[in-house]
Structure 1
Amino acid sequence: MTTFERYLTLWVALCIIAGVALGHFLPGLFHAIGAAEIARVNLPVAVLIWLMIIPMLLKIDFAALGQVGRHWRGIGVTLIVNWAVKPFSMALLAWLFIGWLFRPYLPADQIDSYVAGLILLAAAPCTAMVFVWSNLIRGEPHFTLSQVALNDVIMVVAFAPIVALLLGLSAITVPWDTLVLSVVLYIVVPVIVAQVLRRRLLARGGQAALDGLLKRLGPVSLVALLATLVLLFGFQGGEIIAQPVVILLLAVPILIQVYFNAGLAYLLNRASGEAHCVAGPSALIGASNFFELAVAAAISLFGFKSGAALATVVGVLIEVPVMLSVVWIVNRSKGWYERGQAVRPSAGQERPAP
């Protein structure tokens, strides 16, 4: 681990402060950057995400994707947590905290809208950023890609019915342009670019050339992650300063939701005997959110200035710092995880001593 990586928590904190300050003092600049979007997908953020995830996708050998089936336990856990637990647990937490405990401290006319925004956030599993989190815990890249692709397919048919059920609506209009464009920009394009680049590198210089490029791109990914953090907080700098209490209260159920789902997926994988390199990505996929879709759906259903839109934006703001904390927990608990009686040691390794 480099000195830069060792102090990542410090850089994250400084970027959050810088983003809020810049967004407050230079709102025009961030409004201009925020306006550079198509179907509510911000293009500067998309470019930064490319810089983050293409190095991770370079590690993927498509010929090895067929081996992902051996991790069927991790696949099952991820699907259960994402689609059978996550949206419903968030609905319960939103009702408990926003609809009851925090009700006296929030605008009365926005309570239902806040709850709706939190449900929209939980019903959309993360797509692109999962590759970043998986890389930070040395997760199995083929498993991560397969799970992201599978979630995207399920999301096409399950997002609208789940949200309609939990919000009590007869139907919901899915922002298909945002969903399709996000998948294309965050998955299809980076995968194609990474695979073309990977094949050329291997053809010209072999594995050594690929390893050399990955080493050089490592710092680029982290810098892009920090730059994304500055942008996300800069976009909402005014709101954070104007409504700090509301944002803090909305963050509470989201935080509980993240740690609950990550912990549940992690423990279920351990109980089922999955390897740590699969359990980590499974936990992270179960905890993070597809915030572009959630924000777009909230704006379409309730309006740009609604409580639902603000609630989904809070999810955007805490995504990076909170997921980094989950990454830290997963990394620090690896020894404990692999001492589980059901966990089979990786090839060439012996089970750690109790």
Structure 2
Amino acid sequence: MTTTTTTARTARPAPFVARLSRLDRLLPLWIGLAMVAGLLLGRVVPGLNTALEAVEVSGISLPIAVGLLVMMYPVLAKVRYDRLDTVTGDRRLLFSSLVLNWLIGPAVMFALAWTFLADHAEYRTGLVIVGLARCIAMVIIWNDLACGDREAAAVLVALNSVFQVLAFGVLGWFYLSVLPGWLGLSGAALQVSGWDIAGNVLIFLGVPLLAGYLTRRLGERAKGRTWYEDAFLPRIGPVALYGLLFTIVVLFALQGDAITSQPWDVVLIAVPLLAYFAIMWAGSYGLGRAIGLSYERTTTLAFTAAGNNFELAIAVAIGTFGVTSGQALAGVVGPLIEVPVLVALVYVSLALRQRLFPATAPARNSP
């Protein structure tokens, strides 16, 4: 009896966080340092904002665009594209994702914005725009760090991209003009070009997706899957985190002055954002568990529902209301809150894996 118990305890797998690389385990520290570095650069380096904004791609600063592409490429190169049919056939996952992203998510943000910012029209409008911009970029990083299903993430992000092009403008009109009128509230019109959104999707999803697909296709054809996953992918894997940190530094350098000069306003905007991320992530995670999804797909569902496309939200807010507007500040505060919160939720997800999904194989997404 004693021998059996001792053996069982010895064979128990180590905590999932312990399996992360040193770079991954210290990710909250690196991200915190990147945010501080960006804020300081934006405050102390004269003309940095002007230089970073001098060249734009689809309404977004070129350095941010480069960081996002570098960040997304390694993760999309890890996707096994020959397994995507196992995701497209999962109707529970696809239907749940569409409902969470395009019905529940915008409605939750609308309700929170009006609850917490009823007397701050510009910030309220900015948050509604953030709620309409469903995530197609950083969610891939959070999902990968939490050992979610890469193939499912690729499919759900692509699905969100299609709906973003088709529905963003319509939902913006509904939540900012029509619904406030029905409820007897004062709204604000939103003018946004569907072509601009399509360009945003094409650049920030299409380019790294195509690069990732071609890398895997050509790499496996030349040297086989074993070499590709055991030798090549570990070499390019850290590049995604370097791209993430670079993006954070540039983003906060661009908006450092706006954030640090209005700290109380940042707090006002942060409160409903914190509530939004908590509600959407926990609710989506609970839904995935309730409908019988695996850990990997439950995690993917939760992160794709909780994350937002802050790049698009900031571009739309600046393009519609101006760079110094309250709407733009609300968009900028979005990643200030989203990045540390979703990093924390990566570790929450890994901890819940041991409690709620004990039979899950930990090495599933290890390459």
TM-score, length of structure 2 as denominator length:
0.85
Shift of 1:54: 1.3
Partner of 1:210: 228
State the identity as a percent. Answer: 35
Cα deviation 1:237-296 (Å, max 9, x = unaligned)? 111221111012111101110111011110001000000100111111111111222222
* 1:253 partnered with 2:272: yes
SS at match of 1:333: helix
Moved more, 55-64 or 170-179: 170-179
Could you tell me which residue of structure 2 aligns to residue 86 of structure 1? 105
Give structure 1 regions of 4+ aligned residues with deviation exceeding 6 angstroms.
none
Match of 1:75 in 2: 94
Determine the structure 1 residue equivalent to 2:296.
277
Are the counterparts in 1 of residues 192 and 320 from structure 2 also a CA contact under 8 Å? Answer: no
SS of equivalent to 1:173: coil
Distance 1:220 1:117 in 2: 32
Look up the match of 1:42: 61
Match of 1:199 in 2: 217
Distance, in Å, in 1 between the alignment partners of 2:114 and 2:248 is 29
State yes or no: 1:189 paired with 2:207.
yes
What is the one-letter code of the residue matched to 2:82?
A: A
CA–CA separation in structure 2 for the residues paired with 1:30 and 1:172 = 26
Question: Within the alignment, does 1:135 sit opposite 2:144 as a pair?
Answer: yes
Q: Which amino acid counterpart does residue 123 of structure 1 have in structure 2?
A: L
Residues 253 and 272 of structure 1, relative CA distance in 2, 3 Å threshold: same
Task: Read off the aligned partner of 2:213 and give its amino acid letter.
Answer: Q
Tell me the SS of whatever aligns to 2:117: helix
Check conservation: 2:75, 2:237, Cα contact below 8 A.
no
Q: 1:347 to 1:129 in 2, by over 3 A?
A: closer
Say whether the 8 Å CA contact 1:123–1:162 is kept in structure 2. Answer: yes
1:125 paired residue number: 134
Asked if residue 153 in structure 1 is aligned to residue 124 in structure 2, the reply is no
User: What's the offset of the Cα at 1:145?
Assistant: 1.1
- Does residue 180 of structure 1 match 2:198? yes
Aligned to 1:332: 351
1:242 corresponds to 2:261: yes
Aligned pair partner of 1:290 in 309, 318, 325: 309
Superposed counterparts of 1:312-323, under 5 Å? 312-323=331-342
- The worse-fitting range, judged by mean Cα deviation, of 56-65 and 79-88 is 56-65
* Matched position secondary structure for 1:134: helix
Decide whether the 8 Å contact of 2:74 with 2:239 is kept in 1: no
Residue 135 of structure 1: SS of its match in structure 2?
helix
CA contact (8 A) 2:123 2:330 kept: yes
Deviations 1:8-31 (A, max 9, x none): 111111111111111100141242
Aligned partner of 1:167 in structure 2 is 176
- Find the aligned partners of 2:300 and 2:45 in 1 and give their Cα distance: 37
Match of 2:76 among 36, 43, 57: 57
Q: Which residue of 2 aligns with 1:33?
A: 52
- Which range is displaced more, 287-296 or 247-256? 287-296
| C-alpha separation in 2, matches of 1:151 and 1:4 | 30
Gaps of 5+ in 1: 104-110, 340-344, 350-354
AA matched with 2:218? R
Partner of 1:310: 329
**Structure 1 residue 324, shift from structure 2 partner:** 0.9
What is the distance in 2 between the residues matched to 1:348 and 1:47? 32
State the shift of 1:347 in Å. Answer: 8.6
Could you tell me how far 1:177 is from its partner in structure 2?
4.2
Larger deviation: 125-134 or 174-183?
Answer: 174-183
Query: What amino acid sits opposite 2:114 in the alignment?
Result: W
User: 1:90·1:257 contact (CA, 8 Å) conserved in 2?
Assistant: yes
1:342 corresponds to: none
CA distance in 2, matches of 1:235, 1:188: 25
1:337, CA displacement in angstroms?
A: 2.5
